[in-house]
Amino acid sequence: MGRTLAEKVWDDHVVRRAEGEPDLLFIDLHLLHEVTSPQAFDGLRLAGRPVRRTDLTIATEDHNTPTLDIDKPIADPVSRVQLETLRANCAEFGVRLHSLGDVEQGVVHVVGPQLGLTQPGTTVVCGDSHTSTHGAFGALAFGIGTSQVEHVLATQTLPLAPFKTMAITVEGELPDGVTAKDLILAVIARIGTGGGQGYVLEYRGSAIRGLSMEARMTVCNMSIEAGARAGMIAPDETTFAYLEGRDHAPSGDDWDAAVAYWKTLATDGDAVFDAEVFIDASELSPFVTWGTNPGQGAPLSSDVPDPAAFEDPQERIAAENALRYMGLTAGTPLREVRVDAVFVGSCTNGRIEDLRAAAAIVEGRKVADGVRMLVVPGSVRVALQAIEEGLDQVFTAAGAEWRHAGCSMCLGMNPDQLAPGERCASTSNRNFEGRQGKGGRTHLVSPQVAAATAVLGRLASPADLSDDHASSQHSTVEV
Amino acid sequence: MEKFTTHTGRAVPLRRSNVDTDQIIPAHWLKKVTRSGFEDGLFEAWRKDDAFVLNQPQYAGASVLVTGPEFGTGSSREHAVWALQNYGFQAVISSRFADIFRGNSLKNGLLTVILPQETVERLWALVEADPSAEITVDLEAREVRAEGVNAPFELDENVRWRLLNGLDDISITLRQEDEIAAYEATRPSFKPRTTPVG
Ligand code: SF4
């Protein structure tokens, strides 16, 4: 019987298979950041163990880093200690680190792909649940806990429990204005926050094949919000074109050998998935979340749902709690929900395409009075590219704040936070209670919806913007 | 890691589903570089509310958490497990756990037990009616026992063996070093490498 993409990558990494034991898998790439690594390095030090493969390990600073005044000492002493700890650990153990100020610094899941380190058919781990992002390249990539970080540092392997496979097939064409973010939010609303549990998801079908690498990363990034172990997309010409010429991509004969191997990875025609979900792309529309988990989402054109309409009692209670926390009333059209803040960034939507999409919408327009819009590129490279294209000017001219790269308001570990009760349209991936700051309320949206929302001050899609003055000024900035 | 064989203690009924790791331990606590001292951060936002179950005196000192489905979703932060342990929990019972959280818990000797939702409801009813009621989580017999409840649970045999013996994964894997080296020797040259330091 044929094998799926995930099974092929798994099989190619088995170091040891024995009856009654989990498979021991080799890890091709280990990404580190400051939050989940200090206790792991400490464990190594206590046991007197080295990092086995520093050449397969790389670290960045992202979660705690400020997005303003990055040349000054970090104000929060606890954040500073955590970053200093990472710097000391990397120096002691010989791990390459991209620190604040380094041109390769940025959110770990933006940095790996742009360096060309994330490649098809590899195993990628990081002490961070959004490691699923890297699955966009046909890598088997998953988030791990700190004990596992230590395990990979010491052995470059991980014992892993077997997984099940789920095909998420999206056929047809995405309607105008509907993005990868809307697609994945709709998938999560369909299968639920636990629907992917124990599964590696494979996104397939013509709508997926038509996505750019950036958009594929947005989709795979949020696999974890459906509870999945990982999400993957078969590598194809789009993948190869993205990788070719990148710093760490293979070259010469190695490139040819690599591409030949990568082409063997796609799921075989006769492979069988443990579960299948079908989605018609043409039925999708801009999607937003109304609740406090990423599965609590609905089309922007709909109303805040009535908890009483949920059959499952747990879901009903969850919806009641969510509406209370979010300060929303059932039956309110989502388009009438006003926001205080807009955040464009994160490893979900902080890449250059996302910034271009948001900039195209705010160009020649103004952020609504009383709304704060924060634009935080996913990495320094993304920021530099955006500056070269003049996007930073577009954002600042519209009244948005253009910031330095990092995780920023995606989780509010640095000073970029919502105040209690503030409502935010955010291109990030989690709308949990307090995620963006204590008492803050998050609506997950695409960059396009975020930008339109910033202009109108209420949840909106670009189609809601009258084509006033904006389109006539379209050519003022070269992109 | 400490051995886990059997544990008996009072329980806290947490009637919530989808308890994500941002609720278990909010992000600002993740700046610590140790594995201890997270107890005050556990469910920090909810504990501001006097009515929250953990604030009720009758549940003080409880060591088993009985919670709704999809416990531990979201971020991979192992701090969530440390916070529960630092607070004094030895076992968590739910009908469904998020994968990463479950893996993290079992690596740290916090026993996460999966029981059907009906059994969870019975345990909730029991400890709400009588907060002094004790629950026994018996890993040897693979069974949860309480008044009127005798529920078997499943756990991967290999994981159970590690927990019962308090074995640490890394030393087990390092016994297979020659197999790792043999695998490394076969890796193709096109596989990615990071830039060496210095
Ligand atoms: S951007 Fe957000 S989700 Fe992504 S790694 Fe940073 S904190 Fe995590």
B197 vs A94: CB contact, 8 Å cut-off? yes
Chain A residues within 8 A of B69 when measuring between CB atoms = 194, 314
Query: What is chain A's length?
Result: 479
A320 burial type by CB count under 10 A (0-12 exposed, 13-18 middle, 19+ buried): middle
Chain B residues within 8 A of A150 when measuring between CB atoms = 170
* Mean pLDDT to the nearest integer, A305-323: 94
CA distance A391 to chain B (A): 31
- CB pairs below 8 Å between A and B: how many? 211
The DSSP output letter for A435 is: T
Residue type, A267: T
- What is the per-residue pLDDT for B2? 78
B62: CA distance to ligand 1 center in Å?
34
Q: Tell me: pLDDT of A69 over 90.
A: no
d(CA A109, CA A348): 9
A130: CA distance to ligand 1 center in Å?
7
d(CA A473, CA A347): 30
- What is the per-residue pLDDT for B1? 76
The two three-digit tokens of residue A201, written as one number: 């998801």
- What is the per-residue pLDDT for B34? 87
- Choosing from A223, A413, A429 the residue with most ligand 1 atoms within 8 A of its CB, the one to mutate for a pocket test is A429
Q: Tell me: pLDDT of A363 over 70.
A: yes
A15 vs B96: CB contact, 8 Å cut-off? no
Residues with CB under 6 A from ligand 1: A 62-63, 107, 109, 128, 130, 346-347, 407, 410-411, 428-429
Number of DSSP helices (H) and strands (E) in chain B, helices first = 8, 7
More confident residue, A469 or A233: A233
Chain A residues within 8 A of B107 when measuring between CB atoms = 145, 147-148
Number of DSSP helices (H) and strands (E) in chain A, helices first = 16, 19
CA nearest A340: which of A298, A365, A369?
Answer: A369
pLDDT band at residue A469 under the 50/70/90 scheme: very low
Q: Tell me: pLDDT of A479 over 60.
A: no
pLDDT digits (tens, 9 = 90+) for A268-294: 999 999 999 999 999 999 999 999 999
ipTM for the complex shown: 0.91
Q: Residues B82, B85, B87, B91: is their CA dihedral positive or negative?
A: positive
Does B30 contact A at CB distance below 8 Å?
yes
What percentage of chain A exceeds 70 in pLDDT?
Answer: 97
The residue ranges of chain B whose pLDDT is under 50 are: none
A225: CA distance to ligand 1 center in Å?
13
In order of A210, A308, B35, B53, the CA distances from B29 in angstroms are 41, 36, 11, 21
Q: Are strands B134-138 and B6-14 parallel, antiparallel or unpaired?
A: antiparallel
- What is the per-residue pLDDT for B109? 92
- What is the per-residue pLDDT for A135? 98
The DSSP output letter for B69 is: S
* Mean pLDDT to the nearest integer, A155-180: 96
Chain A residues within 8 A of B178 when measuring between CB atoms = none
Q: Tell me: pLDDT of A472 over 90.
A: no
Q: Are strands A29-32 and A123-126 parallel, antiparallel or unpaired?
A: parallel
In order of A224, A470, B187, the CA distances from A155 in angstroms are 25, 56, 16
* Mean pLDDT to the nearest integer, A16-36: 95
- What is the per-residue pLDDT for A295? 94
- Choosing from A379, A382, A416, A428 the residue with most ligand 1 atoms within 8 A of its CB, the one to mutate for a pocket test is A428
d(CA B83, CA B25): 7
State pTM to two decimals: 0.90
- What is the per-residue pLDDT for A467? 58
Residue B60: CB atoms within 10 Å: 12
Q: Tell me: pLDDT of A476 over 50.
A: no
- What is the per-residue pLDDT for A372? 97
Query: What is chain B's length?
Result: 198
Q: Tell me: pLDDT of A473 over 80.
A: no
For chain A, give the mean pLDDT: 94
